[in-house]
Structures are given as C-alpha cells and as structure tokens.
C-alpha cells in the first residue's frame, strides 16, 4: 500500500525521492505564453518530443545531403537496415522474440496487412469479435475487411461492452460469447488497454480462452506498449499491432509496430499482401530479375515498403530512454502516480466526477478516465486555463495519463487541485 497526504508538500517529497526524476529532462514540455511549463497529461494521445529527436533527424538529413543514395549503405546509420535500430528495444517492450517484431507503416495499415493473412472467412467461421468502445480506426478497418469479403458487418461483427451499471468489461462476458458461438468466430481483435476507460485486460487469459475455441487472436496494443508490461510471445496471440506516437513518443504519425508470433513467422507459405521490402534480402535488389516474391521469415516478411527513415529517427531517441529506465521501474512509478491521483480524487466531494478506470493496479495502466456528470466542457476549459493538457471524449469523459518517463507527482497534484476548485 502507498501512503500519501493531501498537501502539496507530499508531491514535492515524492518527486524528490523518485529514482526516475532525471528522465523528465530528456523530453521537451510545452510552455504557457508566460513561459511556465504546462502540466502535460496527454501521453495517451501524443507523447512528448524527446530532446535528442531533432539531432537524430538532422543526422539523417545531413547524410542525405552528403551522400545521397549512398547513405543507404554508407550513412552513419545505414538506411537499408534502419528499421533494425528499433527492433531490439521494441521487442523488449512488447515481450517478444527479436524476429517477431518489425516497425513499419501505421497501425491501421498494419492491421489490414494482418487481416489479409489471418482473416480467412469460410462457411463455418466468418465472425469477428471486438471489445467496445473500440478505437474508431479499428472499427472502420474491420467493417471494411468484412465488406471486402462480401460480408455484412451487421451480421458478422460482434462486440462486447460492459454490463449495465458497470464501466469495464469482465472476461467472463467473453467466455459466455465463446461458449455460445466461438465455433463461428474467425478472429478476435481486442485492445490491450481500452482507449476510453483505461482498462488493462488479462491478455493471457483472453488469448487462451479464444484459442481453445479455435479463434485467431489479434491485439491492438496502441495504448499498451510503453505503458504496461507485456509478454506477447509467452501469451501467444497470433498477431498484434500498435502505433508509436502515444506512450512511445515517436512523434505525430510515427511509424507503427507489428508482432507476428514465431509459429506463423516461420511459415513463409502464409498468404499476405506483398511488397519488395518483405522479400528475401539476398534477392531484394535483383528487382526486375526477381519475378516471384520470396518472403523473409519472421515479422520482416510482412513488410511492404522500405523504412521511412525520417519518421523512425525520433522513435530511436525515445526507445533509448525506455532502455535506460527499464519497464519494471517505469511500471512501479506508474502504479504509484495513479494511486496518488486516485487518492486525491477520492478526497473530492462526490457527485460531479466518477472514476471509470479500474482500481486494481493490475487492471490499469497510467491512464485514469473520469466521467464528468455536470458541465464537463466547463471543467475541461478550467484545466486548459490552468495550463493542464489532458483530453476529452464525447460526451463527458476526461482522460489524463501521468506517464512515468516525464510526469511528476507535482503534475498529478496540480491536476487534482484544479479539479477540486472548478
């Protein structure tokens, strides 16, 4: 159990004792017009710029100017293998084997590539199951895939939402659906952390349940990678996708990540949408002389295009900070930050604000979502006026994420203080 007091001095003492406090200096925080730093609690939407990102991008621009096309092999970090610079750190954060992870494209593009391989509807299995609310881009992708196969989403898309009077989904609800129609479900696409409630699901249990019924399991880890501990290789989902602009601080529109379990990565006969960068590197540059696509083994075999070097450079700066801090230490601080926030929220008068994120630390990451029952837009405006950046989901949810790499206990105290006075 954590011990806190409601006064501001407690926040100062917690920050002084924080072993990760120096990592805040490795990121650039937005400032108010008067020069004061803003309280940035929006890492669940867009992470902050790593201090070293600019120099890494400039290095690639310099190599381009100095070497032109020769920078593919002679640059300071050769472009031909640039995606390899992200692999080790990315695999560590996902809890995957090195060759099971590749950074490429964007999340939704990667989801379509995965569904092209793993969603093969047949007469007996055509359904796709998702959690609700789910991120709209995932929903659009799934519906378009169903239509692409000549299927009606109204008939072939199943979703599960929390029971009446509850905010979070219980996995026994999933079990009930699987017992009833698991034999008809081809793919389950599930969030690692729900983007509205911040619920961190029991992914090993979910995966095991689905596999017992013969379903393919795909995970959207956009709100999970860099936020919560993951062990996707051991948990055994068939594939996973994520973006890198949230907790991974890769910048707006940053390159996405993709995991393909080793049992599939070794199968080069699996159908896929192919492109030249997924081809065997030994023959990749034979170009017009190589008429047939021969995929690499591992996740690399699903690549389509060559790496977007300028988009990958900022991510290198951020992943270096994750490597230095270590996920166990980051998780420990995250649990303490959210526990402190919940402690402060619980001391406020009841009625206006309701926490919808699970109280159990095992069931949440660093995002805490608040259901605002009275004048939610006014409360958001008050936060913005006080220099606190979080975000709003219609009709009345405020999401705040004290991320352990750069947020402080003082940030949490300030957020709670504004709420209590507004």
pLDDT digits (tens, 9 = 90+) for 269-323: 999 999 999 998 888 877 778 888 989 999 999 999 999 999 999 999 999 999 9
Angle at CA of residue 89, ends 85 and 94, nearest 5°: 130
Residue 71 near residue 78, CB atoms below 8 Å? yes
Reply yes or no on whether the pLDDT at 127 is more than 70: yes
Dihedral pair phi/psi, residue 145, rounded to 5°: -65, -45
pLDDT confidence of residue 252: 96
CB atoms within 10 A of CB 386: 17
| DSSP-derived 3-state class of residue 61 | helix
| DSSP-derived 3-state class of residue 179 | helix
CB atoms within 10 A of CB 39: 26
pLDDT digits (tens, 9 = 90+) for 131-146: 999 999 999 999 999 9
Residue of higher predicted confidence among 161 and 3: 161
Distances from the Cα of 227 to the Cαs of 244, 334, 335, in angstroms?
Answer: 11, 8, 11
Dihedral pair phi/psi, residue 391, rounded to 5°: -145, 175
Residue spans per domain, the chain = 8-37+327-421, 59-322
| DSSP-derived 3-state class of residue 398 | strand
Residues 6+ apart with CB under 8 A from 174: 129, 160, 206, 209, 210
CB atoms within 10 A of CB 117: 18
Dihedral pair phi/psi, residue 28, rounded to 5°: -100, 115
Please check whether the domain covering 59-322 is classified as CATH 3.10.450.50: no
Query: Minimal CA–CA distance to 169: which of 357, 13, 10, 295?
Result: 357
pLDDT digits (tens, 9 = 90+) for 78-113: 999 999 999 999 999 999 999 999 999 999 999 999
**Residue percentage of the chain with pLDDT more than 90:** 93
* DSSP-derived pairing of the beta strands 368-372 and 353-355: antiparallel
Mean pLDDT of 225-231: 98
First to last CA, the chain: 30
Distances from the Cα of 323 to the Cαs of 13, 31, 159, 317, 320, in angstroms?
Answer: 26, 27, 37, 10, 5
d(CA 259, CA 298): 9
159 beta partners: 130
Mean pLDDT for the chain overall? 96
Dihedral pair phi/psi, residue 392, rounded to 5°: -130, 135
Q: Under CATH, which architecture does the 8-37+327-421 domain have?
A: Alpha-Beta Complex (3.90)
d(CA 56, CA 74): 16
d(CA 138, CA 222): 11
């Amino acid at each position: 159990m954590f011990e806190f007091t409601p006064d501001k001095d407690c926040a100062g003492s917690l920050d002084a004792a924080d072993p990760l406090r120096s990592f805040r200096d490795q990121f650039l925080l937005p400032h108010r017009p008067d020069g004061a730093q803003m309280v940035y609690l929006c890492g669940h939407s867009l992470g902050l710029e790593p201090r070293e990102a600019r120099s890494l991008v400039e290095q690639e621009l310099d190599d381009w100017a100095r070497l032109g096309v020769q920078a593919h092999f002679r640059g300071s970090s050769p472009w031909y293998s640039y995606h390899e610079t992200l692999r080790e750190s990315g695999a560590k954060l996902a809890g995957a084997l090195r060759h099971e992870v590749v950074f490429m494209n964007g999340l939704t593009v990667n989801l379509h590539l995965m569904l092209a391989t793993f969603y093969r509807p047949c007469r007996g299995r055509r359904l796709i199951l998702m959690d609700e609310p789910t991120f709209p881009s995932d929903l659009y992708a799934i519906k378009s895939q169903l239509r692409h196969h000549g299927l009606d989403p109204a008939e072939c898309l199943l979703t599960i939402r929390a029971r009446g009077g509850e905010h979070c989904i219980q996995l026994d609800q999933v079990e009930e659906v699987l017992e009833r129609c698991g034999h008809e479900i081809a793919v389950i696409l599930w969030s690692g952390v729900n983007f509205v409630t911040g619920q961190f699901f029991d992914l090993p249990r979910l995966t095991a349940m689905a596999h017992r019924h013969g379903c393919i399991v795909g995970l959207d880890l956009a709100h999970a990678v860099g936020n919560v501990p993951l062990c996707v290789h051991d948990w055994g989902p068939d594939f996973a996708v994520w973006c890198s602009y949230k907790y991974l601080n890769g910048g707006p529109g940053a390159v996405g990540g993709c995991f393909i379990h080793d049992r599939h990565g070794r199968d080069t006969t699996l159908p896929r949408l192919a492109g030249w960068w997924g081809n065997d590197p030994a023959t990749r540059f034979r170009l017009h002389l190589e008429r047939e696509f021969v995929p690499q083994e591992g996740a690399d075999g699903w690549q389509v295009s060559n790496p977007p070097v300028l988009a990958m450079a900022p991510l290198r700066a951020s992943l270096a900070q994750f490597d230095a801090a270590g996920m166990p230490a980051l998780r420990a601080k995250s649990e303490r930050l959210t526990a402190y926030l919940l402690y402060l929220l619980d001391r406020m008068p009841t009625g206006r604000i309701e926490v919808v994120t699970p109280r159990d630390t095992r069931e949440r990451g660093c995002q805490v979502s608040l259901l605002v029952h009275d004048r939610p837009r006014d409360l958001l405006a008050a936060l913005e006026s006080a220099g606190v950046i979080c975000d709003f989901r219609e009709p009345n949810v405020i999401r705040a994420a004290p991320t352990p790499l750069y947020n402080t206990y003082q940030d949490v105290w300030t957020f709670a203080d504004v709420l209590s006075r507004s």
